[in-house]
Chains A and B, each alone.
Chain A
Amino acid sequence: DQQVKQNSPSLSVQEGRISILNCDYTNSMFDYFLWYKKYPAEGPTFLISISSIKDKNEDGRFTVFLNKSAKHLSLHIVPSQPGDSAVYFCAAHWRSALNFGKGTSLLVTP
Chain B
Amino acid sequence: KAGVTQTPRYLIKTRGQQVTLSCSPISGHRSVSWYQQTPGQGLQFLFEYFSETQRNKGNFPGRFSGRQFSNSRSEMNVSTLELGDSALYLCASSSDLSGRAGTQYFGPGTRLTVL
Residues in A lying within 8 Å of B, measured CB to CB: 31-32, 34, 36, 41-46, 49, 51, 89, 91, 93, 95-103
Residue in A closest to B54 when the chains form the complex, CB atoms: A96
B92 / chain A contacts, CB cutoff of 8 Å: 43, 98
- Chain A interface, DSSP helix/strand/loop, else mixed: strand
- From B48, B101, B103, A31 is in contact (CB under 8 Å) with B101
Residues in B lying within 8 Å of A, measured CB to CB: 4, 31, 33, 35, 42-45, 48, 50, 55-56, 58, 88, 90, 92, 96, 101, 103-109, 111
A96 to B109, CA, bound (A): 19
The 9 tightest CB contacts between A and B, nearest first, are A43-B106, A32-B101, A100-B43, A96-B48, A97-B45, A96-B56, A93-B101, A102-B42, A44-B106
A97 to B96, CA, bound (A): 12
The answer to whether B109 touches A42, judged by C-beta atoms less than 8 angstroms apart, is yes
The answer to whether A96 touches B33, judged by C-beta atoms less than 8 angstroms apart, is yes
- List 4 extra interface pairs beyond A34-B104, A44-B106, CB under 8 A: A34-B103, A43-B90, A49-B103, A101-B42
